[in-house]
Amino acid sequence: MKKLLFTLTVLAMSFTVNAQENDGITLTVIIENVLNNDGHILSGLHNENTFMKAEAIKMSKDKAETGELIITFENIQPGDYAFSVLHDANDNNRMDFANNGMPTEDYAMSGSSMPMGPPTFSDAKFLIEEEDMELTLRF
């Protein structure tokens, strides 16, 4: 009886672990052309409701290192998303602007359009479907 109970417990735990591992897809973001080691790289995965706001659905803050940075977000549900990334070289946790309104720190955004002015969600959105996905952005 004890062996049967133990076997059922282990079996139930393995189903629970597998269910937790399959709660969504994995999004891997490759950020190319980090120009220096100053500050941090701030990145965020957004839906339409969080786009261009401080709090993203998933966020990352990584020490800047010259070259390429790879970030992984797990358990993402299918849908439309946008991804933004900022090289916060002076570590003040925000994008800095020149007097003319142009950003003074490197940034990148998902999407293929390069709008004049702030991007919109429709400019930056991409679709996450049922399979793991890789996204490449370049400063």
CATH code linked to domain 25-138: 2.60.40
60-93 tens-digit pLDDT: 999 999 999 999 999 999 999 999 999 999 999 9
Measured CA to CA, the distance from residue 9 to residue 27 in angstroms comes to 32
What pTM did the predictor assign?
0.80
pLDDT of residue 15: 45
- Closest by CA to 73, choosing from 60, 88, 86, is 60
- Please state the separation of Cα 69 from the chain's center in Å: 12
- Closest by CA to 80, choosing from 33, 45, 125, is 125
| Rg from Cα positions in the chain | 19
Residue-range domain boundaries for the chain:
25-138
